[in-house]
A and B are shown apart, each in its own frame.
Chain A
Amino acid sequence: MRLLRFALAFCVLLALTAGVFTIVAWRPAIGPIAPPAVNSFDPALVKRGAELAAIGDCDVCHTVPGGRALAGGRAVPTPFGSIYSTNITPDPETGIGQWSQAAFQRALRLGVRRDGAYLYPAFPFDHFTLVSDDDDNALYAYLMTRAPAYAPPTPDKLPLPLNIRFVMFAWDFLFLHPGPYRADATHDGAWNRGAYLVDGLGHCGACHTPRNLFGAERADLKFSGSEVEGWTAYALNDLSPAPVPWNAAALRHYLRYGYEDSHGVARGPMTEVAGDLHAIPADDMRAIATYVAAQMNHAAPEQDVVVQGAEMQRDRGTTDTAASADSQSNALRAIDTKNDEGAVIYAGACAGCHEGPRALPYGGIDLMLTSAIGGPSANNLVNIVLYGLPAAEAAHAPIMPGFAGAMNDAQIVALARYLRARFSDKGPWTDIAKSIHDTRNRGRPLTIGHPAVIEPAPSGRSTAGAQ
């Protein structure tokens, strides 16, 4: 009898909890609207929206490479499963054509769809929540004036219980800190503007900050670097592995052109990010670079970077013969540079471009300057040796051939070992063979950047020589 009463009480309590949870977590649908006419938006607002969409890289996730711009369907691989981006063109049936401005803003700020369903944080609303009303309105004006594309959503591949969107209520409760952005009075205007763009719309931390078990960014490790889509997103704080420290000027060049003389070339998902940032306003770029450089407390003083890179090359020597024993790392001394398999492969397959007369972006970077060799994992080096840098369509862009067909796994291991020993002061990698195996067999999802297939913004931005 007592047991029955206890069980009854337990059931009532459970039902009450579920009821309260439902009431608290319930999000209403926001009624559909007739898709607004293109000419109902102020062209200046649309143009600003285009710039903001470029800073937010909307098209990177929301476009299948080679597919229709912003029509969604691109898989975003996560440790929990693949989530497919949605159609954010104003198609009334399959896109956001029936979304009001209020519905759009709620999605950006709280991660809730127009119909009231929760969005997964693969859509970085934990960052977009910082975006101001004005910028939300401009983004809305931009997206609602794009060409509508009929593209039904691709079902996500998520296990129970994550495939029940309602459970994301708990994630939001724990990890969403709603905006707006609050200025930090201890820093100047450019820094604050940069913080607003980088931590908000730019959502740099989505890749460059490691995530916890629940897939939320770890605030205590902000910008400490992470592994994303088969690539290392390098640390943007004091842990940055860049051999020549970054500064704001170098960042501005890198983010605008996709390469920088003393740091090299954007690869993987970053290629598309830099492609989007190519034509953003100078003030916005300056602010972004100022804030990111400030994360690296020991950032090099302005203008010194190129000089420092050149000095490093001179000090350490860039050819087999120029490298004297005393300027070599201990690890390299253990390698017989004449007969080491990796040394021969480097000399035959790599040095022609990487020690050649052409400068970046069409020549190869001096490998002692790239983070790919001194970085925490071999992933980026392996990706680029296997698949190279694909040529962009009808655009000036860095190029490198892939060696997937020419080199077997053992040869890439030998090459990577040699490069690590010769061009970095870090200890040997232990995960090279697994990295190669996983990349070849797609055990690790891999994005190959291909910027020019993304539709340019209507402001007439071009990747060929503008600015």
Chain B
Amino acid sequence: MKLNVNGTPHNVDVDPRTPLLYVLRGDLELNAAKFGCGLGQCGACTVLVDGEPAFSCVTPVALLADKQITTLEGLGTSERPAPIQRAFIEAQAAQCGYCIPGIMMRAHALLQKNPRASEADIRAFLEPHLCRCGTHMRILRAIHRAQAEMMSANAGGSG
């Protein structure tokens, strides 16, 4: 079947019931999304489907024909990181880093939809994510940092 990932169409030969996460990591070698719990309860596998966060570990690819899938690789590269990635690096928000790609994806989705999201909005929206290392305060700082950068970029008209 056809999958559109990060703007690139892919043809994959898989059972339509296969979780998206397996296809991303196993077939397309996009390894940012992580396998955590496999139950949609930890958030490590979060990607965007048509701009909305989704748990790729419980999302069969059958649901994804004609939809745009975005993974962390689609936001930016190590040479040209997206604002959310730059902010996480600058705030040193990762400890082991396993949960961070999923958190970045959901935070990115929130800031796209609501650039003025409050601290309370951010906390509520990120509730589905677990971080065992406990870098929550740094994660929050990083998201505020990305928010400031995105808003000043918008203000300058450079997008």
Which A residues form the contact surface with B (CB < 8 A)? 341, 344-345, 347-349, 352-353, 388, 390-391, 399-401, 403-408, 411
Contact = CB atoms under 8 A, between A and B. Distances in A.
A210 B41 CA distance: 36
Interface string B37-71: 00111000000111011110011111100010000
Contact of A388 (B18, B40, B52, B67): B40
A95 to B, nearest CB: 24
B116 interface: no
B17 interface: yes
B16 interface: yes
B83 interface: no
A348 B49 contact: no
Contacts of B63: 345, 348-349, 406-407, 411
Nearest to B19: A348
A405 B49 contact: yes
A386 to B, nearest CB: 11
25 contacts: A344-B17, A347-B17, A348-B16, A348-B18, A348-B60, A349-B58, A349-B60, A353-B39, A390-B127, A399-B39, A400-B40, A401-B39, A401-B40, A401-B128, A405-B48, A405-B52, A405-B54, A406-B49, A406-B52, A406-B54, A406-B59, A406-B63, A408-B50, A408-B67, A411-B63
B41 A349 contact: no
Interface of B: 16-19, 39-41, 48-50, 52-55, 58-63, 67, 127-128
Contacts of B49: 405-406
Contacts of B53: 405
Contacts of A401: 39-41, 55, 58, 128
B52 A404 contact: yes
Nearest to A390: B127
A391 B54 contact: no
Contacts of A388: 40
Contacts of B127: 390
A447 B65 CA distance: 31
B150 to A, nearest CB: 21
Contacts of A347: 17, 60
Given A353-B39, A405-B54, 11 more contacts: A341-B62, A344-B62, A345-B62, A347-B17, A348-B60, A349-B60, A401-B40, A406-B52, A406-B59, A408-B67, A411-B63
Nearest to B43: A401
A390 B49 CA distance: 20
Contacts of B50: 408
A11 B97 CA distance: 79
A391 B41 CA distance: 8
Contact of B55 (A348, A353, A406): A406
A399 B58 CA distance: 13
A451 to B, nearest CB: 15
Instruction: Kindly name the residue among A341, A348, A390 whose own CB sees the greatest number of chain B CB atoms within 10 A.
Output: A348
Contacts of B39: 353, 399, 401
Q: Which A-B residue pairs are the 8 nearest by beta carbons?
A: A348-B60, A401-B40, A405-B52, A348-B17, A405-B54, A406-B54, A406-B59, A344-B62
B31 to A, nearest CB: 20
Given A344-B17, A401-B41, A352 B52 contact: no
Instruction: Kindly name the residue among A353, A400, A401, A408 whose own CB sees the greatest number of chain B CB atoms within 10 A.
Output: A401
Instruction: Kindly name the residue among B49, B50, B60 whose own CB sees the greatest number of chain A CB atoms within 10 A.
Output: B60
Nearest to A364: B39
Contacts of B128: 401
A388 B19 CA distance: 18
A395 to B, nearest CB: 14
A82 to B, nearest CB: 20
A94 B149 CA distance: 42
Given A344-B62, A345-B60, A407-B63, A399 B55 contact: no
B4 to A, nearest CB: 15
A65 to B, nearest CB: 10
Contacts of A408: 50, 67
B34 to A, nearest CB: 16
A420 B128 CA distance: 29
B19 to A, nearest CB: 7
Nearest to B55: A401
B21 to A, nearest CB: 12
Nearest to A358: B39
Contacts of A348: 16-19, 60-63
Contacts of A344: 16-17, 60, 62
B16 A349 contact: no
Contacts of A407: 63
A74 to B, nearest CB: 16
Nearest to B106: A405
Instruction: Kindly name the residue among B55, B58, B62 whose own CB sees the greatest number of chain A CB atoms within 10 A.
Output: B58
Contacts of A352: 58
Nearest to A450: B127
Nearest to B67: A408
Contacts of B16: 344, 348
Contacts of B59: 349, 403, 406
Nearest to A400: B40
A245 to B, nearest CB: 31
Nearest to A399: B41
Instruction: Kindly name the residue among A345, A348, A352, A406 whose own CB sees the greatest number of chain B CB atoms within 10 A.
Output: A406
